[in-house]
Every structure is written in C-alpha cells, then in structure tokens.
Structure 1
Amino acid sequence: MFIALPCELPGETMYKLFRNLILVLSVNLLTFTASASNLQSLAEVEHAAYVFTLAQAQARFNNPEITLTPLDKRLRLQNCGGGLEAFTNRDLTSAGNVTVGVRCHQPVSWTVYLPLQIKVMQPMVVIARPVSANHVLTEQDLRIEQRDIGNLRQGYMASIAAVVGQQVKYSLGLGTVIQANHLRPLNVVRRGESIVLVASAGTMEVRMQGTAMADAGVGDRVRVRNLSSDRVVEGIVDSPGVVRVTM
C-alpha cells in the first residue's frame, strides 16, 4: 500500500499522520494474524489422509507406497478443535487410485476429499522379446520384472513355469505383462486329426477311432466323428490325441 503525503504540512501534523498510519497498519496486521491462527493447517489434513491410507494398505500389501495429491493452497478451513478424522466410503482392498476424506466435527463441521495412489511393486512375468499371435511361449520369451499391480486390472502371472507351453492369442510387445486373458492352452487336438475316442460307462471303458472336428486344448470340449458309427459326439480333451466321452 502506498500513501502520498503533502510535503508542505507542518511538522506536528506530519507526525500525527504518521502515528495514525502506523496504528492502522498495526491493527490490520493483528487482525490478519488472528484470522490466520483460526485456519486449519492443510499439511495436517494431508498428513491425516496419508497416515490413514498407509495403515489400510499395509494391512493388505507388503511395502506399499503412498502418493498424495496436495490440497489447493488457496483452500481455507476453520481450525478443527475436535481432531481430524480420516475415512473412506469403500474398503481399500486394491492398489491404484483411491479417494480418502478428512472431516472435522467442531467447532465448525467440514469435509474435504483427497486423491491418493497406492503403489505396490510385485515380481511378475513379462515378455522378454516380441512374440506373434499363436506363438507357443518358451522360457527364452519370458522374464521376471517388478511392476506396480495397481495398473493391472486383469491380474498377472507370477511364475514363468505356469506360462511356458501356453499359446498367446495375439502379438505381444517387449515388456508386456502376461495376463491370463493373453493366453490359451496349447491345442493338443487338431481339426481333421485322428484321435482316440474313449467312452466310459461305469467301470467299463471302450476305445474307438475318431476324427476331431475342431482344434482344442486339454480340458476343452470338442466334437468328434466316431469312425465306427459315423456319429458325431462331443467329449472333453483328456490328453494329446485323446477325447473322453461319458455314455
């Protein structure tokens, strides 16, 4: 603030004007100080949200990392005399983005919401070199890397042994995290291929020759033409070249 004073005023008048100006500035400064003391520290609000989220995450994950988006520094909240309470409207059972509320009950009731991120690093199987659609995965195609599980809504594979021998549905680039929906079991029965059709009835078992009418993997249902009767039956692939039906 700038105030211009006429230089030609008598000395005593100038003195009174300066004295009054200092008084006004002092009162304004005291008023500002008193007002600031009634404001809630935003750092304390953020800390309450952080501690609450960390405790929730630690109860479910090992070594979670919490990232908090700070409140807008222009926010003005009445100082909370009854203590800050952090809460969430849902269980923090998964990593990723979450929202946590912090509220005050007295002397003035208010609530703010803060966005946070729960980051959890876990070892998982990723593609070590690009593979094309229908490729059967080998150990050389895969490696283990630490990745954030919060970015993986479809899950991940933790063991290379569980992935080797499976077929990818489509092309996958370097570093892609392997998820269950990327894979299908290797087809062990091929369309038009001669297979053994095993029919079970109680303790009896009959084996016949058949022809597969579609590609299928172990555990898949597949239609087979019985070469003895020329009938088409449906069975479950039991092992490479073997389809089992129940009579």
Structure 2
Amino acid sequence: MLLGSLVFLPGTADADDETLTQRVHQFLYQKTQTLGEEVVIELRAPSPHLPACLNPTPFLPNADQAPLGRVSVGVRCGEQQRQIRYLQAQIDVIGPYAVAAEDISRGTPITDAMLDTQRGNLGELSSRALTDADEIIGNVARRPIRRGSTFQAHDIQAPRLVERGQRVTVIAKGPAFRIAREGEAMDDGGLNERIRVRFGPREILEARITGEGVLQIDF
C-alpha cells in the first residue's frame, strides 16, 4: 500500500492558492502511486504576486519522464485554459529497484538470476535508471555492468534478431493480401525496430522486425 504525504515549502498561500496546490498534489500523487511504496511531495507555494488560478488543470511538461526528484509542474488556468504557470516540486518515492547481482559482461543476455532488489529513494536515482526487472530481463548488456549497479537505459539493448548483410524475409500484409519477399538487411536490429531492406539495385524499403530474420511492412 502506497503512503503519501504533502509538505508545503515556505510561502504565502490564500484560499485560491490552497485549491491550486491541493489540485497539483492530487495530480502528482496519481502519477506516482504506481512507482513505489511511499511518496513525499514537497510543493513550493505559488507567488503571491500572481493572479488567482481559476479551474487549475495540472500537467507535466515532460510527460514521458517519471515525476521523480525535482520536477516542474505546469498548470493551465481559466475557463479557456490559456493562462499557464509553473510550480516547483520535490518528489521522493521510496520503493524497490533492480540492481546487478553479479558482474555482467558486455554482450551477455540478462536473466532473472543476474538481478537483485534494493529499496530506497527512487528520486535519487538517475533519470535513466530502469527500476523494474521486467524492463531489463531478456535484454543484452551493451557494456560491462558492475555488481550492485543500477541498470541505465543506455546499458542494455534488445537482442539482435537481424544483422546487417543478412538475407531476410519481408512480409507485406494488407486487408486482403499477404506477400513474402526475400531481401538483404542494411542495418542491425531488434524486435519491433525498423530497418532498411534492399531488394534490388534501386529498391530499398523500411520494414519492422517481428522475429529472427523476419520483417513486416504494414499497409
């Protein structure tokens, strides 16, 4: 069960500001409740010199990045949502994260036995750290990883299913047809990556890798 708490950093807050900060806190709590076991959100009170924010609607400027550590939260205000202001927050999430249970050499496929679990403040980890074992297992180490280290996104890659120069089968599929052709891969690639395939001196197409030596073009 995730426990949450809110701390207001020094500042002056009236009733409208309290509504704003409560709305932002609820938004951040929803965004972080799946990340760990306990979350502490520190919000800096809005500037007292700004006008009231009516109908506040929070959003994250970096929507693809988990809201951990020091983050900036955008808030749209007013009936037309045309006014935008930003609040600063410090988000600490306590929970488990994966680390290497042993030294892992470059090119090694990563298995469950190679992982261990530690518990701590996820906000203190690198923004590119992978905390979920499911994101790591089955990938290949791109560089040596030391025992006890966290896994960074750039440390691992999907296993190569196609190598440059390899003869591959490309399947073109549509609502009422299916055509298979043989070509030459012009790039290395892993599952669901798109690479170029040469079919002749002047015919090069891009296709998505769906299996070992197999690619697909969707129409």
Residue 234 in 1 paired to residue 193 in 2? no
- Normalising to structure 1: TM-score of the pair? 0.51
Deviation at 1:156, TM superposition (A): 4.0
**Selected match of 2:99 from 80, 101, 126:** 126
Q: Shift in Å at residue 157 of structure 1?
A: 3.4
The answer to which structure has the higher helix fraction is: 1
**Structure 2 residue identity aligned to 1:88:** A
Is the 2:168–2:215 contact (alpha carbons within 8 Å) kept by the matching residues of 1?
yes
Instruction: Output the TM-score relative to the length of structure 2.
Output: 0.57
The offset of 1:196, in angstroms, is: 0.8
* Counterpart Cα distance in 2 of 1:122 and 1:206: 49
Map 1:204-219; keep pairs closer than 5 Å: 204-219=177-192
Structure 1 unaligned segments of length 5 or more: list them: 1-49, 67-85, 99-116
Cα separation, 2, equivalents of 1:154 and 1:64 = 17
Are the aligned partners of 2:38 and 2:95 in contact in 1 as well (CA < 8 Å)? no
Q: How does 1:3-14 map to 2 (within 5 A)?
A: none
SS at match of 1:181: helix
Give structure 2 stretches of 5+ with no counterpart: 1-5, 10-21, 48-57, 61-66, 72-89
Q: Could you say which structure has the larger radius of gyration?
A: 1
- Confirm or deny: 8 A CA contact 1:191 1:213 kept in the other structure: yes
RCO higher in structure (CA 8 A, sep ≥6): 2
Cα 1:95–1:223 shift into 2, 3 Å? closer
Amino acid in the other structure paired with 2:181:
M
Equivalent in 143, 146, 168 of residue 119 of structure 2: 146
Give the structure 1 partner of residue 75 of structure 2.
none
CA drift at 1:161:
3.2
Q: Distance in 2 between matches of 1:51 and 1:221?
A: 46
User: 2: CA distance between counterparts of 1:146 and 1:179?
Assistant: 17
In structure 2, what residue type is equivalent to 1:222? I
CA RMSD of aligned residues (A): 3.7
Is contact 1:124-1:156 (8 Å) kept?
A: no
Identity %: 23
